[in-house]
């Protein structure tokens, strides 16, 4: 039986970790649009729009790929998610604060214009006979 050689993917996980993401529980290779799912024993299932999915992966390479995946997940993916989460704790508040400040500034400008326009339309002290 002929097997799919996944050694280029194993190398890619180490050399270009940014080309991968986890999407709906599958390891997704963004450039090729190939998806990989691992079971508890490290067997890999491949989804692809091309003929790649017709060959199975040799057990030894499947184990190497699973090991590379675990390393990628630990050293690249998990820290990326944690950093995104950490950044979101600050961005949402900053975005809300910017929105609130803009709203306050617009309200202030509107009130200032209204007060200024209203002051011009008021009679002066002399014309009102208050002097």
Confirm whether 114 is domain-assigned. no
pLDDT in tens, 19-61: 999 999 999 999 999 999 999 999 999 999 999 999 999 999 9
Please say whether the beta carbons of 80 and 62 come within 8 A.
no
- Residue for token digits 């024993």? 41
Q: Does pTM surpass 0.85?
A: no
CA–CA separation, 37 and 94 (whole Å): 38
* Cα first-last separation, the chain: 109
Q: Is residue 126 part of a domain?
A: no
What's the mean per-residue pLDDT of the chain? 87
Residue 45 domain-assigned (yes or no): yes
Domain range spanning residue 80? 3-89
pLDDT tens-digit series, residues 99-114: 888 999 999 888 887 7
In the chain, the number of structural domains is: 1
What pLDDT, on a 0 to 100 scale, did the predictor assign at position 126?
Answer: 52
pLDDT for 123 beyond 80: no
């Amino acid at each position: 039986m002929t097997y799919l050689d996944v050694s280029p993917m194993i190398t890619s996980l180490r050399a270009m970790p940014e080309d991968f993401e986890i999407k709906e529980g599958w390891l997704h290779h963004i450039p090729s649009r190939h998806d990989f799912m691992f079971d508890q024993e490290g067997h890999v299932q491949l989804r692809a729009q091309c003929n790649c999915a017709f060959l199975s992966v040799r057990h030894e390479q499947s184990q190497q790929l699973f090991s590379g995946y675990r390393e990628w997940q630990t050293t690249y993916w998990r820290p990326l998610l944690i950093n995104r989460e950490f950044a979101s704790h600050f961005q949402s508040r900053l975005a809300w604060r910017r929105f609130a400040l803009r709203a306050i500034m617009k309200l202030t400008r509107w009130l200032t214009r209204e007060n200024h326009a209203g002051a011009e339309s008021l009679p002066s002290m002399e014309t009102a006979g208050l002097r």
